[in-house]
Structure 1
Amino acid sequence: MKTTLMNGLLATGLLFGSLSQHAIAADYNFPHLETVGSSQIKIAPDMAEISVQVSLTKNDAKQAKVAVDQAVAKFINRLKDAGVDKNAISSANLSIQPQYHYPSKQPKELVGYRASRQVVVTINQLAKLNDILDSALEEGINQVQNISLKSSDETAAVEQARQAAIKDAKQKAQSLAQGFDRKLDGVWEIRYLNQRPVQPVMMRMEAMQSDVAESYQYGQVSVEERVEVVYRLK
């Protein structure tokens, strides 16, 4: 009877919940149903993490290193003047690569050395983001690699979303059991699928804006949670 009921549900697309690969592989030898609880919460960002880089080519490796070190040092001083805590700045990296020219049918020629340094900054005041980006460019930083918007309320939002996903799973289980004239007999298994908050990566620049700072439109941070639950049936 169990096999017949399961085949019928699969054939009609009415299988309780959405089976994960683990559930498909599991061999439950008792009446049960599965539900998937999910939720999504959107919160306004109030922080940003930016990743910028300076890359310069000079005649020798030392010149290249000195040039990028100077650009990074000036930018860090600007950050400190803007009130950014030193613990929010990461810049301890350096890459130096020889640069070659490859003439046709001739040996390669060394033409210089390219040095690169990356600076990652956490900005706790989103209103300062535009000014900090401007200061980076003014001090010789020539690549903006990534801008990730974040929220200081992210931990609380994750917990709120998780509880909403649990509630969603419970409501679905109760509704399904009632609809099939069955009763729940407790939770047998819980599978929590950890989600990472979806961060808006880049900001959208809108045209026809007179105020440049206001032309940066900050999206919302989307927090999603998902939980799978196996219930025994009476």
Structure 2
Amino acid sequence: MKRVPTVIAALLTSALSFGAMANNVDFPHLSTSGYGEVVATPDMAEFTVRVVETTMTAEQAKQSVDKVVSDFLDELTDQDVSKDNITSSNLYLSPQYHYPKEGKPELVGYRASRTVNVTVDDLTKLNQYLDIALNAGINQVDNISLKVKDSAKYREQARMAAIKDANSKADSLAKGFGHKLGSVWQIDYNMPSSQPVLMRSMAMDAKMESNTYQDSTIVIRDRVDVIYKLD
């Protein structure tokens, strides 16, 4: 009696553990990777700004940075931004040295910095808050991330699309190799650790209209690896 050959179809897989597991299966099977993505319109944002000052003394640097952050937080409060949507870091202070070719390093001042992270529930106000940061004395934008509020809904849609993709590939491959697709034997799924988002950066002296962000889109992706039995 001739043994039915094992069919392995590895499709765009980068998960070595999944591939090794499939190779160790001792019955006719087929393995696929399904991919899904959903395009969403951002309706919120998160940005991180930083103030950096270098002065002759540590106390001057601290006072200067603390004042800028305090003014910025006060302005955000005046704009009815919830305190739950604002986080600020502790002061980071470091001495600055000049290193001559000969002789010992010379202390030339102190560098102080603090960062503030703001969650923006209304995307139309993003540029307004960035302008407030500029006027308060913030001199660096570290990151601007566009997001969606109901991310779980879009993640579920992407996941279902990935499952449908895996099933479609498996059915097509089984038919192409002259087999019937059996039941699912193994599902390997690891939710992505972070949601893919469209990233924007913006110079503090630049002026951009809010609809520049509102016209953007976010692609949310998911993936599932499946091993099917072959009849």
Do both share a fold (TM > 0.5)? yes
Q: 1:57 to 1:226 in 2, by over 3 A?
A: same
The within-5 A match list for 1:187-198 is 187-195=184-192, 196-198=194-196
CA–CA separation in structure 1 for the residues paired with 2:39 and 2:20? 34
Q: Distance in 1 between matches of 2:104 and 2:229?
A: 74
* 2:171 matches 1:174: yes
Q: 1:131 to 1:204 in 2, by over 3 A?
A: closer
Distance in 2, matches of 1:164 and 1:54, equals: 43
Count residues with an aligned counterpart: 222
Q: 2:20 aligns with which of 25, 33, 36?
A: 25
For the residue of structure 1 that corresponds to 2:185, the secondary structure is strand
Q: Aligned to 2:32, what secondary structure does the other structure show? A: strand
Shift of 1:3: 9.6
- Of 148, 156, 160, 2:157 maps to 160
Residues 103, 23 of structure 1: alpha-carbon distance in 2 compared, 3 angstrom cutoff = closer
1:95 matched residue in structure 2: 92
**TM-score, normalization: structure 1?**
0.86
Which residue in the other structure is 1:200 paired with? 198
| Stretches of structure 2 lacking an aligned partner (at least 5 in a row) | none
Counterpart residue identity of residue 196, structure 2: V
Q: Secondary structure of the equivalent of 2:175?
A: helix
- Map of 1:79-228 to 2, 5 A cutoff? 79-195=76-192, 196-202=194-200, 212-214=208-210, 216-217=212-213, 218-228=215-225
Change (3 A) 1:3 1:70: farther
C-alpha contact (below 8 Å) 2:38/2:219 kept by paired residues: yes
CA-based RMSD of the aligned residues comes to 2.3
Q: Partners of 1:219 and 1:51 in 2: how far apart?
A: 19
The list of structure 1 runs, each at least 4 consecutive aligned residues, that deviate by more than 6 angstroms after superposition, is 1-5
TM-score by length of 2: 0.87
